[in-house]
Amino acid sequence: MIVLKTSQVTKYFFSPEKFKVLDSVSFEVRRGEFLSLVGKSGCGKSTLLYVLSTMDTSYEGTVEINQQLLTGKSKDDLSEFRNNHIGFVFQFHYLLPEFTVLQNVMLPALKLAKYSKDEIESRAIEKLKLLGVYSQANKQANKLSGGEQQRVAIARAIINDPTIIMADEPTGNLDSANSKIVFELFDELSTNFNQTIIAVTHDKDFASKTNRIIEMEDGRINL
């Protein structure tokens, strides 16, 4: 089943002068696929990810996720769609330091308000156990190691069982041991839970082990 489809996505930057950063990008992603977007810095891969995630709406062409056309929708509609269907993992975890690990993971589900608070807490505990950080549940987020924080960030990204996880350099701040752990977690989510994952990465070892590599150059997909 196709869960993401882009058609002729083109985007410009206008400062300091007009520059085409994405050039007629078209591709499809199937459910359960774990793919990596690679290419030199400035090739457009992170920009493309932000367009796919609906956080950047200034582009030409179309983006569909879960057979829904997202291009042209209002900010409120896109915000609701993101919370239901997209889990985003950043290079830096962006956990709230004054909150516990459990509270951080619960936040997107509390915002979605699809389940009761008790159910959300139960789901958050389940995700923390899956990612091997349940023992840290009641610690403040800033008391964890970098690798643990990134695992908590992944737990937060999957709390609402998203259609797609999108990750922007998820191992960029991690050492090789923790990078390996993060890859194995993504691989397990893809293999055992049929989770679709799109990861932007400079890590050649990480990319080489994903199901598919999409290489970008000068705003285009290298076919």
Give the span between the Cα atoms of 128 and 153, in whole angstroms. Answer: 10
Mean pLDDT of 7-11: 95
Mean pLDDT of 187-214: 91
CA angle at 153 for the pair 210 and 57, rounded to the nearest 5°: 75
Q: Buried b / exposed e across 58-90, counting CB within 10 Å, b at 16+? A: ebebebbbbeeebbebeeeebeebbbebbbbbb
Neighbours of 196 (CB within 10 A): 22
- 117-173 per-position pLDDT tens digit: 999 999 999 889 988 889 989 998 888 888 888 889 989 998 988 999 999 988 887
24 three-state secondary structure: strand
- 92-117 per-position pLDDT tens digit: 778 888 899 999 999 988 888 888 99
Domains plus CATH for the chain? 37-217 (3.40.50.300)
